[in-house]
Amino acid sequence: MLFVCRGLIISAVLLSVASHGRAASVWKVTSGAGNVLYLGGSIHALKSTDYPLPSAYNRAFDASDRLVCEVDPKALDESSKGLLKVGEYPKSDSLKNHVDPRTYDYLRRLFKLMDVPETKFARYRPWFLSLMLQEPALNGISETLGVEEFLTRRAQANSKPVLGLESAREHADIFLGLSDRQSEAMLLIMFIPAERGSGSAGNALADAW
């Protein structure tokens, strides 16, 4: 996400922002003309114990004129509906035709443990299954506690404009542009933390953040 203040960026230098001894994924970007923006690493879902956020986030927010998120918050519902539509195969097609047999067998056994019938999960593309399996509610975290959601509420309370870098369509196009192999890899990568005994991919990402 971007916290933008004093106009556009022409040329930039990245500077890490300290947070009273606590590491923070926030950088200050300054142009030769003195224009400034802050670049903040966002996690879309967190736990209540992850709060308060490192103070660098609030300092960057307070110094900025507007907040820019990955997707315009007003378009999130449209984006979710769009992903659901394009994430499903046509009725004449199936996941089994697009992934390695070993991957399919792994998924079949996984979803059986979750009481999800094969006829249901096989309708979806690998990248969409990856998003489904990273659903915050399944991993003990909440989207309402995500960094962007928190800062968006602050922006609304302070009458600061909130914009998006991508439209709902552009967001969906990222996934639509994946080949079968790339889509399958995206799905398999999320299982690596679990195989190593370090929890879900979402929790591993939050820990790294």
Q: Is residue 104 part of a domain?
A: no
Give a yes or no: residue 99 inside a domain. Answer: no
Task: Return the SS3 of 162.
Answer: strand
Residue 11, pLDDT score: 28
φ, ψ (nearest 5 deg) of residue 3: -110, 115
Local confidence band at 192 (pLDDT 50, 70, 90 cut-offs)? confident
Residue 113: inside a domain: no
139 is a domain residue: yes
With respect to residue 41, please indicate whether it lies within any of the assigned structural domains: yes
Q: For the whole model, what pTM was predicted? A: 0.66
pLDDT at 208: 66
| Burial of 80 per CB tally in 10 Å (0-12, 13-18, 19+) | middle
Structural domains in the chain (count): 1
Residue 176 is predicted with a pLDDT of 85
Classify residue 93: in a domain, yes or no.
Answer: no
What is the C-alpha separation between 41 and 69, in angstroms, rounded?
10
Percent above pLDDT 70 for the chain = 75
36 falls within a domain: yes
The answer as to whether 200 is a domain residue is: yes
Residue written as token pair 């299954």: 129
Say whether 43 sits in a helix, a strand or coil.
Answer: coil
Residue span of the structural domain in which 82 resides: 2-88+124-208
pLDDT at 165 (0 to 100)? 84
Q: Please state, rounded to an integer, the average pLDDT across all residues of the chain.
A: 79
Q: In the Cβ-directed half-sphere of 9, how many Cα atoms lie within 13 Å?
A: 15
